[in-house]
Protein backbone atom coordinates (compact mmCIF):
# COMPACT_ATOMS: atom_id res chain seq x y z
CA UNK A 1 0.00 0.00 0.00
CA UNK A 2 1.54 3.39 -1.00
CA UNK A 3 2.56 5.87 1.63
CA UNK A 4 0.21 8.83 2.01
CA UNK A 5 0.86 12.32 3.33
CA UNK A 6 -0.07 13.00 6.94
CA UNK A 7 -2.75 15.41 5.75
CA UNK A 8 -4.39 16.34 2.43
CA UNK A 9 -2.64 18.64 -0.01
CA UNK A 10 -5.21 21.37 0.61
CA UNK A 11 -4.25 21.47 4.32
CA UNK A 12 -0.51 21.85 3.68
CA UNK A 13 -0.34 25.60 3.06
CA UNK A 14 -1.08 27.29 6.39
CA UNK A 15 -1.34 30.76 4.88
CA UNK A 16 -3.44 31.56 7.93
CA UNK A 17 -2.68 29.75 11.20
CA UNK A 18 -2.86 25.93 11.38
CA UNK A 19 -5.67 26.11 13.94
CA UNK A 20 -7.77 28.46 11.82
CA UNK A 21 -7.09 26.41 8.71
CA UNK A 22 -8.15 23.20 10.44
CA UNK A 23 -11.29 24.87 11.73
CA UNK A 24 -12.30 26.11 8.29
CA UNK A 25 -12.12 22.58 6.92
CA UNK A 26 -13.77 21.01 9.96
CA UNK A 27 -17.01 22.92 9.40
CA UNK A 28 -17.40 21.99 5.74
CA UNK A 29 -20.32 19.72 4.85
CA UNK A 30 -19.43 16.25 3.60
CA UNK A 31 -18.98 15.97 -0.16
CA UNK A 32 -20.76 13.44 -2.33
CA UNK A 33 -19.26 10.11 -3.35
CA UNK A 34 -17.57 11.38 -6.53
CA UNK A 35 -15.86 14.41 -4.98
CA UNK A 36 -14.85 12.34 -1.96
CA UNK A 37 -13.27 9.71 -4.20
CA UNK A 38 -11.27 12.38 -6.05
CA UNK A 39 -10.11 13.84 -2.73
CA UNK A 40 -8.99 10.40 -1.57
CA UNK A 41 -7.20 9.70 -4.85
CA UNK A 42 -5.50 13.08 -4.63
CA UNK A 43 -4.12 12.16 -1.21
CA UNK A 44 -2.96 8.70 -2.28
CA UNK A 45 -1.42 9.76 -5.59
CA UNK A 46 -0.30 13.29 -4.72
CA UNK A 47 -2.59 14.87 -7.34
CA UNK A 48 -2.91 18.64 -6.91
CA UNK A 49 -6.53 19.71 -6.49
CA UNK A 50 -8.01 22.89 -5.05
CA UNK A 51 -9.67 21.02 -2.18
CA UNK A 52 -13.19 21.40 -0.78
CA UNK A 53 -12.97 24.92 0.71
CA UNK A 54 -11.78 26.46 -2.55
CA UNK A 55 -14.09 24.19 -4.54
CA UNK A 56 -17.09 25.59 -2.66
CA UNK A 57 -15.78 29.12 -3.21
CA UNK A 58 -15.47 28.57 -6.97
CA UNK A 59 -19.01 27.18 -7.03
CA UNK A 60 -20.23 30.22 -5.11
CA UNK A 61 -18.51 32.65 -7.50
CA UNK A 62 -20.30 31.05 -10.43
CA UNK A 63 -23.65 31.22 -8.64
CA UNK A 64 -23.20 34.85 -7.60
CA UNK A 65 -22.14 35.95 -11.08
CA UNK A 66 -24.72 33.83 -12.90
CA UNK A 67 -21.94 32.31 -14.98
CA UNK A 68 -22.91 30.01 -17.82
CA UNK A 69 -19.60 29.74 -19.69
CA UNK A 70 -16.34 28.89 -17.92
CA UNK A 71 -12.90 28.17 -19.35
CA UNK A 72 -10.59 26.26 -17.03
CA UNK A 73 -6.84 26.49 -17.59
CA UNK A 74 -5.44 23.30 -16.08
CA UNK A 75 -8.02 20.79 -14.90
CA UNK A 76 -6.07 17.65 -13.85
CA UNK A 77 -8.61 14.98 -12.86
CA UNK A 78 -11.54 17.39 -12.96
CA UNK A 79 -12.17 18.15 -9.28
CA UNK A 80 -12.65 21.91 -9.72
CA UNK A 81 -14.39 21.26 -13.04
CA UNK A 82 -17.19 19.43 -11.24
CA UNK A 83 -17.69 22.31 -8.79
CA UNK A 84 -17.95 24.72 -11.73
CA UNK A 85 -20.22 22.44 -13.78
CA UNK A 86 -22.70 21.98 -10.96
CA UNK A 87 -22.89 25.75 -10.55
CA UNK A 88 -23.53 26.64 -14.21
CA UNK A 89 -26.55 24.33 -14.30
CA UNK A 90 -28.33 22.89 -17.31
CA UNK A 91 -27.40 24.74 -20.46
CA UNK A 92 -24.10 25.90 -18.96
CA UNK A 93 -20.72 24.97 -20.43
CA UNK A 94 -17.35 24.37 -18.79
CA UNK A 95 -14.23 23.85 -20.88
CA UNK A 96 -11.84 21.33 -19.29
CA UNK A 97 -8.19 21.49 -20.40
CA UNK A 98 -5.21 19.31 -19.57
CA UNK A 99 -2.17 18.09 -21.43
CA UNK A 100 -2.41 14.52 -20.11
CA UNK A 101 -4.80 12.19 -21.93
CA UNK A 102 -4.88 9.73 -19.00
CA UNK A 103 -5.99 12.46 -16.60
CA UNK A 104 -8.63 13.58 -19.07
CA UNK A 105 -9.97 10.03 -19.38
CA UNK A 106 -10.06 9.68 -15.61
CA UNK A 107 -11.84 13.02 -15.33
CA UNK A 108 -14.41 11.94 -17.93
CA UNK A 109 -15.36 9.00 -15.72
CA UNK A 110 -15.87 11.31 -12.75
CA UNK A 111 -17.98 13.68 -14.85
CA UNK A 112 -20.23 10.86 -15.98
CA UNK A 113 -20.65 9.53 -12.46
CA UNK A 114 -21.24 13.04 -11.16
CA UNK A 115 -24.00 13.69 -13.67
CA UNK A 116 -22.34 16.70 -15.30
CA UNK A 117 -20.67 15.21 -18.39
CA UNK A 118 -23.15 16.94 -20.71
CA UNK A 119 -22.03 20.37 -19.38
CA UNK A 120 -18.30 19.82 -19.90
CA UNK A 121 -16.21 19.96 -23.06
CA UNK A 122 -12.92 18.10 -22.65
CA UNK A 123 -9.92 19.47 -24.53
CA UNK A 124 -6.52 17.76 -24.31
CA UNK A 125 -3.47 19.84 -25.10
CA UNK A 126 -1.63 22.97 -24.02
CA UNK A 127 -4.16 25.02 -22.04
CA UNK A 128 -2.79 28.37 -23.18
CA UNK A 129 -2.82 27.37 -26.83
CA UNK A 130 -6.39 26.15 -26.43
CA UNK A 131 -7.40 29.45 -24.83
CA UNK A 132 -5.65 31.44 -27.57
CA UNK A 133 -7.88 29.71 -30.13
CA UNK A 134 -11.08 30.87 -28.44
CA UNK A 135 -13.08 33.57 -30.23
CA UNK A 136 -15.94 33.92 -27.75
CA UNK A 137 -15.97 35.75 -24.42
CA UNK A 138 -16.38 33.78 -21.20
CA UNK A 139 -18.13 34.54 -17.94
CA UNK A 140 -15.25 33.07 -15.91
CA UNK A 141 -11.71 32.03 -16.78
CA UNK A 142 -9.96 29.99 -14.08
CA UNK A 143 -6.17 29.72 -14.05
CA UNK A 144 -4.49 26.75 -12.35
CA UNK A 145 -1.67 25.83 -14.72
CA UNK A 146 2.12 25.77 -14.28
CA UNK A 147 2.92 28.89 -12.30
CA UNK A 148 5.63 30.05 -14.70
CA UNK A 149 2.86 30.54 -17.27
CA UNK A 150 0.63 32.77 -15.12
CA UNK A 151 1.70 36.09 -16.70
CA UNK A 152 1.01 34.75 -20.18
CA UNK A 153 -2.31 33.33 -19.00
CA UNK A 154 -3.29 36.77 -17.69
CA UNK A 155 -2.55 38.41 -21.04
CA UNK A 156 -4.55 35.80 -22.95
CA UNK A 157 -7.47 35.67 -20.52
CA UNK A 158 -8.41 39.33 -20.10
CA UNK A 159 -9.45 39.91 -23.76
CA UNK A 160 -11.55 36.73 -23.62
CA UNK A 161 -13.59 37.77 -20.59
CA UNK A 162 -16.91 39.51 -20.99
CA UNK A 163 -17.46 42.80 -19.20
CA UNK A 164 -18.43 41.83 -15.64
CA UNK A 165 -16.73 38.47 -16.06
CA UNK A 166 -14.30 37.00 -13.55
CA UNK A 167 -10.65 36.04 -13.85
CA UNK A 168 -9.88 33.60 -11.03
CA UNK A 169 -6.39 32.27 -10.24
CA UNK A 170 -5.29 29.68 -7.69
CA UNK A 171 -1.98 29.52 -5.74
CA UNK A 172 -1.34 33.26 -5.88
CA UNK A 173 0.30 33.28 -2.42
CA UNK A 174 2.43 30.24 -3.28
CA UNK A 175 2.85 28.87 0.26
CA UNK A 176 3.84 32.36 1.40
CA UNK A 177 6.82 32.53 -0.94
CA UNK A 178 5.44 35.70 -2.51
CA UNK A 179 6.47 37.49 0.70
CA UNK A 180 10.14 36.50 0.38
CA UNK A 181 12.75 39.16 -0.25
CA UNK A 182 14.37 38.75 -3.67
CA UNK A 183 12.91 35.32 -4.52
CA UNK A 184 14.99 33.31 -6.97
CA UNK A 185 12.44 30.64 -7.91
CA UNK A 186 10.99 31.14 -11.39
CA UNK A 187 7.50 30.09 -10.30
CA UNK A 188 7.46 32.61 -7.46
CA UNK A 189 8.66 35.40 -9.75
CA UNK A 190 5.92 34.53 -12.24
CA UNK A 191 3.20 34.64 -9.59
CA UNK A 192 4.50 37.97 -8.33
CA UNK A 193 4.36 39.30 -11.89
CA UNK A 194 0.84 38.00 -12.37
CA UNK A 195 -0.31 39.63 -9.13
CA UNK A 196 1.32 42.89 -10.24
CA UNK A 197 -0.48 42.68 -13.57
CA UNK A 198 -3.79 42.08 -11.81
CA UNK A 199 -3.49 45.10 -9.55
CA UNK A 200 -2.06 47.44 -12.18
CA UNK A 201 -4.68 46.62 -14.79
CA UNK A 202 -7.20 49.34 -15.62
CA UNK A 203 -9.56 46.67 -16.96
CA UNK A 204 -9.83 44.61 -13.78
CA UNK A 205 -10.77 45.09 -10.14
CA UNK A 206 -8.96 42.32 -8.20
CA UNK A 207 -8.85 40.91 -4.68
CA UNK A 208 -6.50 38.24 -3.31
CA UNK A 209 -8.05 36.04 -0.62
CA UNK A 210 -5.82 34.07 1.78
CA UNK A 211 -7.80 30.85 1.50
CA UNK A 212 -5.72 27.67 1.15
CA UNK A 213 -2.81 28.82 -1.08
CA UNK A 214 -4.33 32.15 -2.06
CA UNK A 215 -7.09 32.74 -4.61
CA UNK A 216 -7.25 35.87 -6.76
CA UNK A 217 -10.61 37.06 -8.06
CA UNK A 218 -10.77 39.95 -10.52
CA UNK A 219 -13.86 41.36 -12.18
CA UNK A 220 -13.57 42.91 -15.63
CA UNK A 221 -14.83 46.47 -15.61
Whichever domain contains 139, its CATH number is: 3.40.50.150
How many other C-beta atoms can be found within 10 angstroms of the C-beta atom of residue 187? 16
Residue 168 has pLDDT above 50, yes or no: yes
Question: What tens digit of pLDDT does each residue of 48-59 get?
Answer: 999 999 999 999
Nearest partner of 207 among 193, 196, 218, judged by Cα: 218
Could you tell me if residue 2 is inside a domain?
A: no
Q: What is the pLDDT of residue 9?
A: 67
Could you tell me if residue 176 is inside a domain?
A: yes
Q: What is the pLDDT of residue 10?
A: 63
Could you tell me if residue 205 is inside a domain?
A: yes
Could you tell me if residue 1 is inside a domain?
A: no
Domain span holding position 61: 9-220
Could you tell me if residue 44 is inside a domain?
A: yes
Share the mean pLDDT of the chain: 94
> Hey, CA dihedral for 185, 4, 6, 97, is it positive or negative?
positive
* pLDDT-based confidence at residue 2 (cuts at 50, 70, 90): very low
Q: How many domains does the chain have?
A: 1
Question: What tens digit of pLDDT does each residue of 45-86 get?
Answer: 999 999 999 999 999 999 999 999 999 999 999 999 999 999
Whole-angstrom distance between the N-terminal and C-terminal Cα of the chain? 51
Angle at 41 between CA 37 and CA 43, to 5 degrees: 120
* pLDDT-based confidence at residue 1 (cuts at 50, 70, 90): very low
Question: What tens digit of pLDDT does each residue of 131-165 get?
Answer: 999 999 999 999 999 999 999 999 999 999 999 99
Nearest partner of 96 among 65, 75, 66, judged by Cα: 75
Q: Enter the pTM of the model.
A: 0.94
**Cα dihedral 207/20/177/128 (nearest 10):** -50
Could you tell me if residue 4 is inside a domain?
A: no
Residue 13 has pLDDT above 80, yes or no: no
Could you tell me if residue 75 is inside a domain?
A: yes
Could you tell me if residue 109 is inside a domain?
A: yes
Amino acid sequence: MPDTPSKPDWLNYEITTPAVESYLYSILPARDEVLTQIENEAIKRDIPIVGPAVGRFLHQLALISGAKTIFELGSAVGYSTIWWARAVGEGGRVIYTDGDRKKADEARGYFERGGVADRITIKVGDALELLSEQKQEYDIIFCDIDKEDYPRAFKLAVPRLRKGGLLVADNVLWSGRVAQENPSEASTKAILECNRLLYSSTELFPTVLPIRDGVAVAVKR
